[in-house]
A = this chain, B = another copy of it.
Amino acid sequence: MLNRPAVPRAVLCLGLASQDTLWRVPTLPTEPVKMRASDVLQVGGGMAATAAVTVARLRGRAAYWGRVGRDAVGEAIVDELAAEGVDTAEVRRFDGCRSTVATVLVDRAGERLVCTFIDPALPDETDWLPLERIAHFDAVLADTRWPLGATAVLAAARRHGIPGVLDADISDAETLVSLAAEASHTVFSAPALRRFAGCDDLAEALRQSCRARPPGAVFGVTDGERGSLWLIGDRVQRIPAPPVRAVDTLGAGDVFHGALALALAEGQGLEPSACFAGAAAALKCKTFGGRRGTPRREQVDALLQEKERWS
């Protein structure tokens, strides 16, 4: 079943955009060593920015709103997003601030270690955000790295009755609770949910976390190759992901969130949306290079057509 709307739906993504340097290593370090990488490459990253690239590759209309420093790295970040077809008109460049950078080690199994620098001087103010334009989008996605910005766009989405997806990665509990209060769909990463709920079992952690769930909202958690879990009422449902040989999981969660937001923007139900997102994220993991591996719509559709084989 192909759920492609005649007119591409528009998704706004607000949050982190970074320039990542990826190092391909045999194994991730567990102590202070000198190690050798077999390859290194630079690629844009950041949760919201990668979600925006995902929306664009999956034939949605993507806009990214966020903050960079007025520096060469910031220009490279914006240029790459624009080259992917993402609307970058509302990226704000801040004088005297440094753009976000990350270094990422990726091992043979595709597991990754991420170290990010976000300039604390980047202003938190949101008064420049053109919130009146939210009504023109079909869904909004925000990550937790700029909480005031995320609150502003998720609250606006809620007022306009359009889906608001929160990419709930590791943050302090207060931030997660206040952001989840504005989101229609809060999708945790597994480590974030475990920490938030203080519980290792993801199904139990989802149930525990529902104290933070506003009425009518959906809570879910991504669980890597095991797919995603969703709290439907009081019931936890697992949506499996297609099996792939993972070589790089960097950005897989971001691709999941971007694809989910697009599917919701297209009016797909939760289960097909989560399935679509899981397929997109799985395909991403087959390619080394962070979000370079983000699939095209055709690839996701083809994988979904074989769904009976893996679900």
Contacts and interface: CB of A to CB of B under 8 A. Distances in A.
A115 B36 contact: yes
A311 interface: no
B32 A115 contact: no
Contacts of A32: 28, 107, 111-113
A210 interface: no
Contacts of A117: 23, 36-40
Q: Classify chain A: how many residues form its interface, as a range.
A: 20 to 34
A266 interface: no
Contacts of A174: none
Contacts of A115: 23, 25, 29, 34-37, 105
A118 interface: yes
Nearest to A28: B32
B103 A34 contact: no
A288 to B, nearest CB: 14
Contacts of A23: 103, 115, 117
A39 B113 CA distance: 17
Nearest to A189: B34
A101 interface: yes
A177 interface: no
A201 to B, nearest CB: 19
A62 B117 CA distance: 35
Contacts of A37: 115-117
A114 interface: yes
A248 interface: no
A36 B105 CA distance: 14
A21 interface: yes
A136 to B, nearest CB: 33
Given A23-B117, A34-B115, A103-B103, 7 more contacts: A23-B115, A34-B170, A35-B115, A37-B116, A38-B117, A40-B101, A105-B115
